[in-house]
Structure 1
Amino acid sequence: MNRVISTGSIIVDLTVSVSAVPLPGGDVLASPLQALVGGGFNLAAAASRHGAHVVYAGVIGSGPYGQLASAALASEGITRVPGAAASGDTGVCITLVDDQAERTFITSPGAESRLAPEHLDAVRPQSDDVVCVSGYDAVYEGSRDALTEWVESLPLGTTVVFDPGPLVDEIPESIWNALLARTDVLTLNDAEAEQLTPGVVPTDQHFALRELLRLRPETATVIRRGSTGCTWRSNGAHGHVSAPRVVAVDTTGAGDTHTGTMAAALAEGFDLPTALRRANVAAADSVTRRGPATAPTRAQLDALLVRAAAS
């Protein structure tokens, strides 16, 4: 199987469950604090569990949180780029999960936000690899220039999947333009699509995104629409891919699970609609468990797909 190479920065989620996010100046009692490896790890773990050979091309810190991240990568069989370590610890994300399974984030970046050219020089992407890029790294001043130059240098045939994430409004225009010129699949959730195209009805968002971002005709756009699945458009073709109904308890990492599973399926040779079907089922299953990296294994996903087809 071809590789999935992820540059998405890995952090540690400091997670609590709350009845509701407090108002400014307020307080709320929470569940015991959990320290769980998340961020870019969610995507990498999902791709690895799908069966892809995953390479993590980001930076890991040298402190206690970095040690947690390193152990998590090893437990999933994910290859690390030699020498991709930095002084200082890995950053954290304070995560509040409310009674509706919605999550609210506060991110404090660390060593992972300093992705230098030498960290990427050890990566040797091939023309049939799938490279996943995160919008967080397109925002971090210590990463975005090195990342952009590296993406621009990728060989023809390498599939680039770009997920801008919730910081879409903070990505500099020059970085947007450079990354999108090389992007094959742009994937974002409906809230992020609304941020970029305020007031545009969902049925027109793909057109608005393509015009706003001046995307190439062959660049596919994917909008994740929560429990209803996702929509996509590329080269005039388009569609809606539904998702199975589940009872959600924690949506943390669901978007990363979707992107990681889609990337692994594309690397395996599935077409985009089939890859999205697999991604929808994996993401739906992931929200039925608490934690950031809860993607199913390949065997579990295949069984879920059979069950979904029979229902």
Structure 2
Amino acid sequence: MATVDLFAIGNALIDQEFKVSDDFLTLQNLQKGTMQLTDGETQSQLFSKLKETQIYKGQASGGSAANTTVAFSALGGKAFYGCRVGNDDLGALYLQGLNDAGIQTSTQSISQGVTGTCMVLVSPDSERTMHTYLGITAELSNTEIDFSSLQTAQWLYIEGYLSTSDTARQAVKQARQIARDNDVKIALTLSDPAMVQYARAGLDEMLDDGVDLLFCNEQEALMYTQTDSIEDALDKLKSLSKTIVITLSANGALIAHHDEIFTVPGRRVVAVDTNGAGDAFAGAFLYALNAGKDLQTAAKLAILISSEVVSKFGPRLENTEYATLLNSFQLETA
């Protein structure tokens, strides 16, 4: 049985990234900064329009939790990704992309069907808007996940986007039980304001009796708790998680752990593409905690890594870039 530090469960999507105009988003009736689910035919039509009129920037083995495991692995952690892909060319490409990034996967993830895709649309203000056809990943279940390495992992990481799927939530329930039975810490991200707005019941189910670490951004925190201030949001979130991390975009992050609450300032960069920033933050934060660092140090590393992701197109850095950034961070904080 392979040993990993991080066992993550999430959607498997091939990201197709485009640089788009605000007019294009308006014309396609897309709400900026959110994720919208669609069907295969509509996705194909949008892809054709994008290729004809907008600027194509490339593709990657995406998905929110996948991006998190890439950052975690590239920094030096060992990670496994549980997902579902189709038995098609994109499915093979997806798993190979994760394996190339040092992430363990299982052939158990492959099943009959079509691998999902996500059109990642980056507007001039660097905001990302996502148009997603889940394909076979919409039916992710415990059948496609090899849970063996979860028993000895340090962390279970759950992607909030799974809240829309009945079968995925059942897989999460099984993963949570395995984690609790084996003293594996549980982390969950709310993922997107759209999940809070349209799949709140699913998020509640996955949070169940609480987690050890909850990631969200400011908008998600306020929406989920139905409050008007971060302070009030924290009061409510404390009943769900031992540690709460609220990202504040360029302003850094707010961390609450028991009665301790503190902020870590952001790092100023020229924002190019916010896609994957929160995912990278979570991956770096979890890596630092797993390496025995305190919460403040974890937040500082996470801000460094995520700000570098924001300064480039795409949801990830090159593998060597993570190592270089970690080395410079360690020298500065030694």
Question: Could you list the per-position Cα deviations for residues 197-223 of structure 1 after superposition, in whole angstroms to 9, with x for gaps in the alignment?
Answer: 34512333211333xxx425xx11111
Amino acid at match of 2:87: S
**Match for residue 58 of structure 2 among 34, 56, 60:** 34
**Match for residue 76 of structure 1 among 101, 107, 110:** 101
Distance of aligned partners of 1:228 and 1:48 in 2 relative to their CA distance in 1, 3 Å threshold:
same
Gaps of 5+ in 1: none
User: Bigger CA drift: 97-106 or 264-273?
Assistant: 264-273
Distance of aligned partners of 1:174 and 1:48 in 2 relative to their CA distance in 1, 3 Å threshold:
closer
- Displacement, 1:52? 0.3
Residue aligning to 2:190: 164
Residue aligning to 2:290: 267
Matches within 5 A, 1:237-276: 237-276=260-299
Q: TM-score, normalised by structure 1?
A: 0.88
Q: Report if the CA contact (8 A) 1:49-1:297 is conserved.
A: yes
Distance of aligned partners of 1:221 and 1:287 in 2 relative to their CA distance in 1, 3 Å threshold:
same
- Displacement, 1:72? 0.8
**Match for residue 299 of structure 1 among 316, 321, 324:** 324
Distance of aligned partners of 1:146 and 1:192 in 2 relative to their CA distance in 1, 3 Å threshold:
same
3-state SS of paired residue (2:211): coil
- Displacement, 1:188? 0.6
Question: Could you list the per-position Cα deviations for residues 99-129 of structure 1 after superposition, in whole angstroms to 9, with x for gaps in the alignment?
Answer: 1110111111122232222333543324551
Q: Report if the CA contact (8 A) 1:2-1:267 is conserved.
A: no
Aligned length: 304
Amino acid at match of 2:71: A
Residue aligning to 2:209: 181
3-state SS of paired residue (2:150): coil
Amino acid at match of 2:198: E
Matches within 5 A, 1:129-148: 129-148=154-173
- Displacement, 1:169? 2.9
3-state SS of paired residue (1:293): coil
Amino acid at match of 2:145: L
Residue aligning to 2:237: 209
Q: TM-score, normalised by structure 2?
A: 0.82
Which has a greater percent of helix?
2
User: Bigger CA drift: 5-14 or 112-121?
Assistant: 112-121
The answer as to 2:126 corresponding to 1:101 is yes
Question: Could you list the per-position Cα deviations for residues 211-262 of structure 1 after superposition, in whole angstroms to 9, with x for gaps in the alignment?
Answer: xxx425xx11111110111101121111101121111111110010011111
Amino acid at match of 2:56: P
User: Bigger CA drift: 52-61 or 26-35?
Assistant: 26-35
- Displacement, 1:136? 1.2
Considering only aligned residues, what root-mean-square deviation do their CA atoms show, in Å? 2.5
Identical aligned residues as a percent = 25
**Match for residue 25 of structure 2 among 13, 22, 26:** 22
Matches within 5 A, 1:54-93: 54-93=79-118
Residue aligning to 2:255: 232
- Displacement, 1:147? 1.6
**Match for residue 220 of structure 2 among 188, 192, 196:** 192
Distance of aligned partners of 1:305 and 1:250 in 2 relative to their CA distance in 1, 3 Å threshold:
farther
Q: Report if the CA contact (8 A) 2:169-2:205 is conserved.
A: no
The answer as to 2:31 corresponding to 1:8 is no
Amino acid at match of 1:13: D
**Match for residue 48 of structure 1 among 68, 73, 83:** 73
- Displacement, 1:273? 2.2
Gaps of 5+ in 2: 30-48
**Mapped partners of 1:129, 1:65: distance in 2:** 31
Q: Report if the CA contact (8 A) 2:69-2:103 is conserved.
A: yes
- Displacement, 1:25? 5.5
**Mapped partners of 1:174, 1:193: distance in 2:** 16
User: Bigger CA drift: 134-143 or 176-185?
Assistant: 176-185
Distance of aligned partners of 1:289 and 1:304 in 2 relative to their CA distance in 1, 3 Å threshold:
farther
**Mapped partners of 1:185, 1:134: distance in 2:** 12
Q: Report if the CA contact (8 A) 1:152-1:179 is conserved.
A: no
Moved over 4 A (4+): 24-28, 304-307
3-state SS of paired residue (2:166): coil
- Displacement, 1:177? 4.4
Distance of aligned partners of 1:178 and 1:290 in 2 relative to their CA distance in 1, 3 Å threshold:
closer
